[in-house]
Chain A
Amino acid sequence: MDVIGQQMANASNLGDAPAKSEHRPGSGIATEEKRKQKKTISQEVMLSVRDLEVSFKTFGGEVQAIRGVSFDLYKGETLAVVGESGCGKSVTANTIMGLIPQPPGRIRNGEVIFKNRDLTKLNKKALREIQGVDISMIFQDPMTALNPTLKIGEQLIEGLRTHHKVSRAEAKRKAVEMLTLVGISNPEERLKQYPHQFSGGMRQRIVIAIALICEPELLIADEPTTALDVTIQAQILELFDEIQHKTGVGVILITHDLGVVAKIADRIAVMYAGKIIEIGNKREIFYNPQHPYTQGLLNSVPRLDLQEEELKPIEGTPPDLFAPPEGCPFAARCPYAMEVCDRIYPATTQLTSQHTVDCWLQDPRAKAVLS
């Protein structure tokens, strides 16, 4: 082990950041991966995140919440971003949406390319013309995401009327249409009601309707089902599916619930300690996970078909992002850790056209040494 580590360290005078060019998944989404026939995922990249680094100033120092995140989103696909609490999922979503408060937040590096524009460089006014129009967001808790003192009709149409010159009547007609789309009966009556007159699941439907009313191309859903009970979760996921078929909207789904991922994601990005450590299509991640963390994550899901009494957690805790480790952040918890893992962050290895992983075990040089 020692020798291998030494050799690998020598072999790699690496730039420590993930290499840029080889990171892009190749073209050609395998058609057999499509969950349903109707759904069409084009090969056109609609959103491209490159080397994004965001940190937050706190009294204790600067937290490096995300430390170099890169991924592409194709038109009409659902990309799930999974990982444990504090790994930077929500920060990634909020950065794309332009909702990082600065200060204390700071985008240290990287770009978010959408429609040939870098969203991180736009001024607030230009950003507002994209927020809610081209990119919309769905929040975790529908109980708090709606303003308790405004009628839901008002909350539905205000975004539309801010961005498009439509009459009140026209906006109302559109609002009724949206409520029907998300499966709320009696939409005309419902528009005049306040959020407290709706149940949690209904409210999440309204939040989705609000997000979709300007017909965005990209929908960012930050744990949209976490606050709902299981039966409602299933309904909301059905709704997501249905809407994506109808509108062809691209979805970034932030979640820690692998069940949700299995149901609606096309591709999955696994985040750990502010980095995407593995990304691939659903089949690859679920059946052929390559990063030890992804494996641990999947192993920790309780299974009903096996006679095991205890959960299998990943031992240890994630690293402190005030002072993130130089090498692989998972090394301290990784059962296969080598010496090199502690020292140098692994380069991104392309496994298949869509599947990449940041792990020394998969590095071609490691395989060369072993064989």
Chain B
Amino acid sequence: MPLYILKRFIMMIVTVLIIATLTFVLMRAIPGSPFDEERTSNPTIQANLEKFYKLDQPMPIQYLNYLKSIVTFDYGPSIKKPNESVNTLLARGFPISFELGMATIIVAVISGIILGTFAALRHNGIIDYGAMTFAVVGISIPNFVLATLLIQQVAVNWQLLPPATWSSPKHMILPVIALATGPTAIIARLTRASMLEVLTQDYIKMARAKGLTPFRIVARHALRNALMPVVTIMGTMLAGILTGTFVIEKIFAIPGMGKYFVDSINNRDYPVIMGSTVFYSAFLVFMLFLVDIAYGFLDPRIKLHKKEGEV
């Protein structure tokens, strides 16, 4: 196990490094520079600014500086907001995005699994059709459309919930619904399909022959086996949700990372782009790692360590 974790850890570092390099190349491939807007600035000021941010140095040196900043976790100040460092921006924005993302994934996983399980247990019944109709609708409607609809109906017309910002649990409800509907639908469909398959297995029949209660059969024998595909997509889904928060944050005026991230790209604010991309990719790679570990707990047949074989 420790060896496996070490291996994975090295792989993670390599992955993040590749992402960082690609980001650097792409970033510099986009035409323009951070100082384009200031049309009036004279060449001397421009040159001084570039010197301050070390943008006058040759590309390879810049790349090395950039790698150094990743390793030391010090991206320096933002170009657009010189009095704030990238780290403070991350420290301010990321916790909010993280909160939104986590709330979404928890809601999506729990409601998706419940919906999918009941749909499978009542296969071809009303609940099944209801759940699957919801699933198709949920997958089809983009979250930003749902977000605007929710604001219009729930917040503006009915005045039930606040339409924007991020200051109390009440404020979380609409953005989380908007963001979680799609993933819920996907998880529900997946759970239903794999549950239907598991329910036909011999060990379920055997559990019934033991005279166990239906609840125990589902909770103890079926669900755990049915959840493998759900865990599999959790990794990519997490990525989707975390990046999806950017759009939702914009719509609900939530002061998360999304705002800074999009702004930084528009402004060619190199340190912020680099800092947030590397931070996010490192976070996602780590989450995927956790998903892999989770396999081992769900299914004892999957061994994360090679030796220590059968008895």
Q: Which residues of A contact B (CB under 8 A)?
A: 97, 99, 127-133, 136-137, 139-141, 144-150, 158-159, 162-163, 189, 193-194, 196-197, 207, 210-211
Check A147 against B209 for contact (C-beta < 8 Å). no
Check A194 against B301 for contact (C-beta < 8 Å). yes
CB contact list, B289-305 vs A, under 8 A: 298-301
- B202 partner residues in chain A, CB cutoff 8 A: 139-141, 144-145
Check B205 against A139 for contact (C-beta < 8 Å). yes
- A136 partner residues in chain B, CB cutoff 8 A: 209-210
- B25 partner residues in chain A, CB cutoff 8 A: none
A-B contact count (CB 8 A): 81
> Quick one: which of A97, A149, A163, A210 contacts B300, CB cutoff 8 A?
A149
Least Cβ distance of A96 to chain B in Å? 11
0/1 per residue, B199-243, Cβ < 8 Å to A? 001110111111111001000110011000000000000000000
Check A149 against B225 for contact (C-beta < 8 Å). yes
- B201 partner residues in chain A, CB cutoff 8 A: 144
- A189 partner residues in chain B, CB cutoff 8 A: 311
> Quick one: which of B210, B220, B221 contacts A210, CB cutoff 8 A?
B210
- 23 examples of A-B residue contacts, CB within 8 angstroms: A97-B209, A99-B208, A131-B208, A131-B210, A132-B212, A137-B206, A139-B202, A139-B206, A145-B206, A146-B206, A147-B207, A148-B225, A149-B225, A158-B216, A159-B210, A162-B210, A162-B211, A162-B216, A193-B311, A194-B300, A196-B301, A210-B210, A211-B209
0/1 per residue, B271-282, Cβ < 8 Å to A? 000000000000
- A210 partner residues in chain B, CB cutoff 8 A: 206, 210
Least Cβ distance of A321 to chain B in Å? 22
Check A163 against B211 for contact (C-beta < 8 Å). yes
> Quick one: which of B205, B213, B301, B310 contacts A162, CB cutoff 8 A?
B213
- B299 partner residues in chain A, CB cutoff 8 A: 148-149
Q: Of all chain B residues, which has the CB nearest A131?
A: B211
On chain B, the number of residues with a Cβ less than 8 Å from chain A's Cβ atoms is: 23
Other A-B contacts than A146-B206, A148-B203, 17 sampled, CB-CB below 8 A, are A97-B209, A99-B209, A129-B211, A131-B208, A132-B211, A137-B209, A145-B205, A147-B221, A148-B300, A162-B211, A162-B212, A162-B216, A193-B311, A194-B301, A197-B310, A197-B311, A210-B210
Inter-chain CA distance A194–B220, complex, in Å, is 15
- A99 partner residues in chain B, CB cutoff 8 A: 205, 208-209
Inter-chain CA distance A131–B205, complex, in Å, is 12
Check A132 against B221 for contact (C-beta < 8 Å). no
Closest 8 CB pairs of A and B: A131-B211, A132-B211, A159-B210, A132-B210, A144-B202, A128-B211, A147-B203, A137-B209
0/1 per residue, B179-213, Cβ < 8 Å to A? 00000000000000000000001110111111111
Majority SS at the chain A contact face: mixed
- A197 partner residues in chain B, CB cutoff 8 A: 310-311
- B207 partner residues in chain A, CB cutoff 8 A: 147
- A146 partner residues in chain B, CB cutoff 8 A: 203, 206
Inter-chain CA distance A196–B211, complex, in Å, is 24
Inter-chain CA distance A158–B213, complex, in Å, is 11
- B209 partner residues in chain A, CB cutoff 8 A: 97, 99, 131-132, 136-137, 139, 211
Check A148 against B301 for contact (C-beta < 8 Å). yes
- B298 partner residues in chain A, CB cutoff 8 A: 149
- B311 partner residues in chain A, CB cutoff 8 A: 189, 193, 197
- A127 partner residues in chain B, CB cutoff 8 A: 211
- B224 partner residues in chain A, CB cutoff 8 A: 149-150
Inter-chain CA distance A145–B209, complex, in Å, is 11
Least Cβ distance of B222 to chain A in Å? 9
- B205 partner residues in chain A, CB cutoff 8 A: 99, 139, 145
- A159 partner residues in chain B, CB cutoff 8 A: 210-212
Inter-chain CA distance A141–B210, complex, in Å, is 16
Inter-chain CA distance A150–B300, complex, in Å, is 8
- A145 partner residues in chain B, CB cutoff 8 A: 202-203, 205-206
Least Cβ distance of A105 to chain B in Å? 13
Q: Of all chain A residues, which has the CB nearest B297?
A: A149
Inter-chain CA distance A1–B205, complex, in Å, is 50
Inter-chain CA distance A189–B311, complex, in Å, is 10
> Quick one: which of A128, A139, A150 contacts B221, CB cutoff 8 A?
A150
Inter-chain CA distance A66–B60, complex, in Å, is 80
- A133 partner residues in chain B, CB cutoff 8 A: 211
Check B213 against A196 for contact (C-beta < 8 Å). no
Least Cβ distance of B306 to chain A in Å? 16
Least Cβ distance of A175 to chain B in Å? 13
Inter-chain CA distance A148–B298, complex, in Å, is 10
Q: Of all chain A residues, which has the CB nearest B224?
A: A149
Check B220 against A130 for contact (C-beta < 8 Å). no
Q: Of all chain A residues, which has the CB nearest B203?
A: A147
Q: Count chain B CB atoms within 10 A of each CB in A158, A193, A210 and give the residue with the most.
A: A158
- A147 partner residues in chain B, CB cutoff 8 A: 203, 207, 221, 225
0/1 per residue, B1-42, Cβ < 8 Å to A? 000000000000000000000000000000000000000000
Least Cβ distance of A21 to chain B in Å? 33
Q: Of all chain A residues, which has the CB nearest B299?
A: A149
- A144 partner residues in chain B, CB cutoff 8 A: 201-203
Inter-chain CA distance A43–B298, complex, in Å, is 50
Inter-chain CA distance A307–B211, complex, in Å, is 51
- B208 partner residues in chain A, CB cutoff 8 A: 99, 131
Q: Of all chain A residues, which has the CB nearest B212?
A: A162
